[in-house]
């Protein structure tokens, strides 16, 4: 009888131990599943929040921004029936952008006088610290006779993938992005004129060589506003 009691006692404890172990394993397994689901949901959320970005040789979507006077301008309206449109990311406090101011004015004048259907130039200021008052004063000082629009939340800079000022994006008559990058190869004494060469080809209806479609813009970085829950992974 004593041996039977010992066996019963041992069996009961063993059974309790096994049941406890199974319960712990089940809890651990459930926790792992929960973590995996959470990571999956988070990953989906990050993917959804990643800013849309245009690619070369694709059509640019329409967007609307305001100028310093508060007037709204839509890309499609400005570029309507134009042989080409140049979107330029500019700044008021960047010395390199200022080095290009006179050159930009000359470029605008050349293509407005040279072609019956004028090329549309659009300036965009995406720097968080530069006010609309500064933009208006700067544009007047340097003789910018084209709309300079404020991109207050950097949404358009994010869409184009613009990182520096000045940085330009050339669209053809169908608003297809044909060139992206620098205006030329030097803020001081350029020997290569990337934008002008690309413009001439686009206006003539010719293809830009693959190696010439994108160059590296050199200038001041665009100072962006802080965005929560946005993945900026390139």
Question: Is residue 193 a contact partner of residue 110, using CB atoms and an 8 Å limit?
Answer: no
**Is the bond preceding 166 in cis, omega lying within 30 degrees of 0?**
yes
What integer pLDDT is reported at residue 118 of this predicted model? 87
Q: What SS3 class is residue 170?
A: strand
Lowest mean pLDDT among 20-34, 133-147, 169-183: 20-34
Averaged pLDDT, 95-99:
97
Q: How large a percentage of the chain has pLDDT more than 70?
A: 73
Model-level pTM?
0.76
Interval 173-219: pLDDT, tens = 999 999 999 999 999 999 999 999 999 999 999 999 999 999 999 99
Distances (CA, A) of 216 to 149, 205, 219: 23, 24, 10
Element containing residue 220 per DSSP (H, E): strand 220-221
Greatest Cα pair distance, the chain, in angstroms, is 115
Instruction: Calculate Rg over the CA atoms of the chain.
Output: 29
Interval 30-88: pLDDT, tens = 454 444 444 444 444 443 456 688 999 999 999 999 999 999 999 999 999 999 999 99
């Amino acid at each position: 009888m004593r041996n039977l009691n010992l066996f019963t006692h041992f069996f009961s404890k063993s059974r309790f131990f096994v049941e406890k172990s199974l319960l712990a394993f089940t809890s651990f397994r459930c926790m792992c599943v929960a973590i995996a689901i959470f990571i999956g949901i988070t990953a989906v959320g990050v993917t959804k929040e990643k800013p849309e970005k245009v690619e070369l040789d694709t059509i640019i979507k329409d967007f609307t921004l305001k100028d310093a006077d508060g007037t709204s301008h839509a890309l499609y309206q400005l570029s309507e029936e134009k042989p080409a449109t140049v979107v330029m990311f500019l700044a008021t406090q960047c010395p390199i952008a200022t080095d290009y101011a006179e050159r930009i004015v000359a470029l605008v004048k050349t293509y407005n006088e040279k072609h019956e259907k004028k090329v549309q130039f659009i300036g965009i200021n995406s720097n968080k610290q530069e006010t609309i008052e500064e933009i208006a004063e700067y544009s007047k000082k340097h003789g910018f006779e084209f709309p300079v629009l404020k991109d207050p939340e950097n949404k358009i800079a994010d869409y184009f993938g613009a990182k520096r000022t000045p940085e330009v994006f050339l669209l053809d008559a169908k608003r297809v992005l044909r060139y992206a990058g620098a205006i030329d190869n030097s803020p001081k004494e350029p020997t290569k004129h990337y934008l002008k060469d690309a413009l001439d080809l686009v206006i003539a209806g010719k293809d830009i060589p693959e190696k010439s479609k994108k160059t590296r813009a050199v200038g001041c970085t665009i100072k962006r506003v802080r965005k929560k829950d946005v993945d900026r992974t390139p």
